[in-house]
Amino acid sequence: MADNADNSFDLVILGGGSGGYACALRATQLGLRVAMVEKDKVGGTCLHRGCIPTKALLHAAEVADEARSGNTVGVKTTLEGIDMAAVNSYKDGVVGGLYKGLQGLVTSAGITVYEGEGHLVGTDAVQVGDQRLTGRFIVLATGSYARTLPGLDIGGRVMTSDQALTMDAVPRSVVIIGGSVIGVEFASVWRSFGADVTIVEALPHLVPLEDEVLSKQLERAFRRRGITFKLGAKFTELTQDDDSVTVVLDTGEKVQAEVCLVAVGRGPATDGLGYAEHGVSVDRGWVTTDERLHTSVPQVFAVGDVVPGLQLAHRGFGHGIFVAEEIAGRDPMPIVDTTIPRVTYCDPEVASVGLTEEQARQHYGDVDTFEYNLAGNGRSKILETSGVVKLVREKDGPIVGVHMIGSRMGEQVGEASLFVNWEAYPEDVAQFVHAHPTQTEGLGEAALALAGKPLHVHA
Ligand code: NAI
C-alpha cells in the first residue's frame, strides 16, 4: 500500500488496466500528481486475462498447425501432441515479462499505486481500504467482465474466457456460445490443438460486426478447418453432468460437448462502486460520457470498457492519453470508435478499420468498393493463405473502410488505419510503391484498382 502524507492528488484513477495506466503515465509526463487504485494487478484484463494470454495461445496454435502441415512445403514434421502445462508456462512467461516491465514503468513514472478495491465516495474522493484519496479530477477506469446469459451458470464444465485461459488439458470437444471475437479466437485455438469445435451464434454470421465479406470468408475457412458452426441459432438451455454438457438451441437442436465456452459479450464493471450514488450517470451499467469523455459530473471522466463502444485495449490506451491531455489543457482530438483498428486473431486473421460497406452506404449513399483477392499476392501464396483486402471509398472521395482477412493480416492494419484516419484517396496511396513480395501489396493493389489502374487483377 502506498503511503502518501496528505492523500491528495491532481488525478485519482480508479482501475489500473489499459485505460487507467495509460492515463496515469501520460498525466505524470504532463506534470500531474497521480494516484492509481488497482484491486488485482496493474495491466488489467488485456495483460492478465485478455489480449496477451489469448494471443500467446493463438501463437502456440499456429505452431501446432505449422507442425502438422510441414509436409505441404516438403519439410518432414509431425505434431506429436499439445503439452498444455508447457503451453501455459510459455503463455504465463509472456504475461509475466510484460507485467514486470509495466510495473517498472509505473514505478519510474512516479505514479502512486494503491492496492485494493476503490469506491467513489464523493465527486472528488475515492476510498480504498482505510485511506481516502482526493483528486482535483477522478478517472473511472474499472473495465469489464465476461458476461453470461440467464440459465447459463458459470461453473464445472461451463466457462468464460477467464477459465478457458487456465485449462490444463485440451478438451476433446467444445461448444462455444457466441461467434464473435472471443468465440472465434478460442474456436481457432482449440481446433488447432485438436478439439472438435461447434460455435453457436444467434446472428446470421460469424464475426457479425465485420463487413459481410470477411464473415463469409471466415466461415469458408472455418468450414475447411473442420470447425462446425450454427448460425441464426440461439442458446436456450444447458445441462451438465460428470462427463459432458448439452446445449439446447432455439431450433430444437442439441449440441453435446465436453465443455462449454460462453462468449456472449463483456459487461461494464461498475456495480457497487458508488458511481450513480455520486451523480455519475450510468445507463445499464455503462458510464455515459460526451465525446470528450466527461461524465455527468464535471471533474469525473471515464475511459475504456466502462464507456459504451468498442471494448479494445488500444481504445483504452487512446482514451487514457486523451483524458490526461484534456485535464492538462492540451485540447486533444477526441477518439472516434470508427477510426480505431480492429483485429481478430483467429486463423485466418480478420482485420479492419473504418466503416463496413453497409455502414458507408448508409452514411454516404454512394460508395465504390474493390476486393483484392490474395490469390494474386505472391507472399500470401508462399504462406499458403487465402483471403481478401477490401477497400470502401466514398464515391469519388476518400477511403472510409478497409477490411482484410488472411494469415497475418492483422499486421497490415497499421497502414489501413492511416488510409482511413488521414482520409486518403485511393489515387494518393496508389502512387506509393509497396515492397514485393509482401502482403502489404494487397492494400496497394486494391488502391491501384480503385484508382482505375489495376495491376495483378483479372478484368
Ligand atoms: P461480442 O459482444 O463481440 O459478441 C457476442 C456474440 O454472442 C454476438 O455475436 C451475439 O450475437 C452472440 N450471442 C448473444 N447471445 C447469444 C445466444 N443466446 N445464443 C447464441 N449467440 C449469442 O462479445 P465477445 O466475443 O464475448 O467479446 C467481448 C468483447 O471483447 C468484445 O467487445 C470484443 O471486441 C473484445 N475482444 C476483443 C479481442 C480483439 O480485439 N482481438 C479479443 C477478444 C475480445
Which helix or strand (DSSP H or E) is residue 404 part of?
strand 399-406
Count CB atoms within 10 A of the CB of residue 43.
25
What contacts 307, CB < 8 A, 6 or more positions away?
286, 287, 288, 289, 293, 319
What distance in angstroms lies between residue 195's CA and the mean position of ligand 1's atoms? 21
Q: Is 349 in the pocket of ligand 1 (CB under 6 A)?
A: no
Q: Is 266 in the pocket of ligand 1 (CB under 6 A)?
A: yes
Q: Classify domain 348-450 at the CATH topology level.
A: Enolase-like; domain 1 (3.30.390)
- At 4 the pLDDT is 55
Cell representation of residue 229: 458452426
Taking alpha carbons only, the member of 37, 62, 142, 56 closest to residue 97 is 56
Count CB atoms within 10 A of the CB of residue 69.
13
Q: Where are the alpha helices (DSSP H) in 50-83?
A: 51-69
6 pLDDT above the threshold of 90: no
Strands (E), 355-398: 367-373, 388-394
- The CA distances from residue 400 to 100, 112, 215, 233, 358, in Å, are 39, 42, 19, 32, 12
> With contact defined as beta carbons under 8 Å apart, do 60 and 89 qualify?
no
Q: Is 59 a catalytic residue?
A: no
Q: Is 235 in the pocket of ligand 1 (CB under 6 A)?
A: yes
Cell representation of residue 454: 489495376
Q: Is 177 in the pocket of ligand 1 (CB under 6 A)?
A: yes
Angle at 348 between CA 341 and CA 146, to 5 degrees: 60
The tens digit of pLDDT for each residue in 312-359 reads: 999 999 999 999 999 999 999 999 999 999 999 999 999 999 999 999
72 pLDDT above the threshold of 70: yes
Task: List the residue whose alpha carbon is closest to atom 39 of ligand 1.
Answer: 344
415 pLDDT above the threshold of 60: yes
What distance in angstroms lies between residue 53's CA and the mean position of ligand 1's atoms? 17
Task: List the residue whose alpha carbon is closest to atom 35 of ligand 1.
Answer: 311
The tens digit of pLDDT for each residue in 240-274 reads: 999 999 999 999 999 999 999 999 999 999 999 99
* 0.95 exceeded by pTM: yes
- At 141 the pLDDT is 98
Task: List the residue whose alpha carbon is closest to atom 41 of ligand 1.
Answer: 344
1 pLDDT above the threshold of 60: no
Give the atom of ligand 1 at the shortest distance from the alpha carbon of 208: 9
Q: What DSSP letter does each residue of 11-23 carry, written as one string? A: EEEE--SHHHHHH
- Name the superfamily (CATH) of residues 158-264: FAD/NAD(P)-binding domain (3.50.50.60)
Query: What does the mean pLDDT of the chain come to?
Result: 97
- At 458 the pLDDT is 78
Task: List the residue whose alpha carbon is closest to atom 26 of ligand 1.
Answer: 265
> With contact defined as beta carbons under 8 Å apart, do 424 and 354 qualify?
no
Q: Whole-angstrom Cα distance, residue 53 to residue 59?
A: 10
Q: Is 208 in the pocket of ligand 1 (CB under 6 A)?
A: yes
Angle at 442 between CA 218 and CA 184, to 5 degrees: 20
> With contact defined as beta carbons under 8 Å apart, do 210 and 352 qualify?
yes
Task: List the residue whose alpha carbon is closest to atom 23 of ligand 1.
Answer: 265
Mutate to test the pocket of ligand 1, among 51, 145, 147, 181 (most ligand atoms within 8 A of CB): 181
The tens digit of pLDDT for each residue in 128-173 reads: 999 999 999 999 999 999 999 998 999 999 999 999 999 999 999 9
For residues 168-192, average pLDDT: 98
> With contact defined as beta carbons under 8 Å apart, do 91 and 164 qualify?
no
ω into 171 cis (within 30 of 0):
no
Shared fold status for 8-146+268-337 and 348-450: no
Q: Is 408 in the pocket of ligand 1 (CB under 6 A)?
A: no
The tens digit of pLDDT for each residue in 358-398 reads: 999 999 999 999 999 999 999 999 999 999 999 999 999 99
> With contact defined as beta carbons under 8 Å apart, do 57 and 87 qualify?
yes
Count CB atoms within 10 A of the CB of residue 283.
10
Kindly report the three-state secondary structure assignment for every residue of 149-215.
CCCCCCECCEECHHHHCCCCCCCCEEEEECCCHHHHHHHHHHHHCCCEEEEEECCCCCCCCCCHHHH
Q: Is 263 in the pocket of ligand 1 (CB under 6 A)?
A: yes
Radius of gyration, CA atoms only, the chain: 23
Query: Which of the four pLDDT bands, split at 50, 70 and 90, describes residue 5?
Result: low
What distance in angstroms lies between residue 180's CA and the mean position of ligand 1's atoms? 4
Q: Name the pairing type of β-strands 349-354 and 286-287.
A: unpaired
Count CB atoms within 10 A of the CB of residue 455.
12
Query: Which of the four pLDDT bands, split at 50, 70 and 90, describes residue 2?
Result: very low
> Percent of the chain having pLDDT more than 90?
98
**How many angstroms from the chain centroid is the CA of residue 295?**
24
CATH code of domain 8-146+268-337: 3.50.50.60
Q: Whole-angstrom Cα distance, residue 13 to residue 135?
A: 9
Give the atom of ligand 1 at the shortest distance from the alpha carbon of 234: 19
- Give the start-to-end residue ranges of the domains of the chain: 8-146+268-337, 158-264, 348-450
3 pLDDT above the threshold of 80: no
Q: Is 205 in the pocket of ligand 1 (CB under 6 A)?
A: no
Taking alpha carbons only, the member of 331, 336, 353 closest to residue 402 is 353
